[in-house]
Structure 1
């Protein structure tokens, strides 16, 4: 057992796992990266890949999905700012092989070409 005098003068701070003071957007930004089309192809085939328009922040969209903000997500879907990828898109990207900025918000994957 460690004696109290060995704890130091700073008080210990206890934080529950996942509650570190960062926003959902900040946490999701750490899971955003650049990937090739070959990484995204299986997600497209499984029907969980979504294109995010350049006018939107990928992490803001991801946070809205993770918080189940259905009205906000529905508005993006209706406006075309968020689009479920289909074979039409996949066939074009197979030819061009662009890289994508991507974010996994399970079970969905968000992306846009870089």
Structure 2
């Protein structure tokens, strides 16, 4: 196990965020959807790339993904679909947001 003092970790943001990425059931994501903080990430993008852009306040990049539909805020219509299908999701927490996409 590697121990470092805060500020000495030379990992990239993407590497750090990969530690907060995992596979979860819809039941884990449902409350985040209800709170309006759950976002669907298009499979052409890496979750960690989107998470890094959010954590670095790269608003132009995030806005471009939102406008293109590559990043979509999940709503009730989406929740109803996932309730029926109950797939597993790859998810990443970038507080206060949660990014996700179905596991293929």
User: Shared fold by TM > 0.5?
Assistant: yes
Residue number among 11, 15, 22 corresponding to 1:33 in the alignment:
22
CA displacement at 1:50 relative to structure 2 = 0.1
**C-alpha distance in structure 1 between counterparts of 2:18 and 2:32, whole Å:** 20
**C-alpha distance in structure 1 between counterparts of 2:73 and 2:17, whole Å:** 20
Greater Rg, structure 1 or structure 2? Answer: 1
TM-score (normalizing by structure 2)? 0.93
Q: Please state whether the residue corresponding to 1:43 is helix, strand or coil.
A: helix
Q: Please state whether the residue corresponding to 2:77 is helix, strand or coil.
A: helix
Q: Which has the higher contact order (CA 8 A, sep 6+)?
A: 2
Q: Please state whether the residue corresponding to 1:83 is helix, strand or coil.
A: strand
Q: Please state whether the residue corresponding to 2:8 is helix, strand or coil.
A: coil
CA displacement at 1:108 relative to structure 2 = 0.1
Unmatched segments (≥5 aa) in structure 2: none
RMSD: 0.9
Paired position in structure 2 for 1:51: 40
Structure 1: 4+ residue segments shifted above 6 A = none
Unmatched segments (≥5 aa) in structure 1: 1-14
Alignment of 1:90 onto 2:76: no
CA displacement at 1:19 relative to structure 2 = 3.3
Paired position in structure 2 for 1:69: 58
TM-score (normalizing by structure 1)? 0.85
Residue number among 10, 28, 34 corresponding to 1:21 in the alignment:
10
Alignment of 1:108 onto 2:97: yes
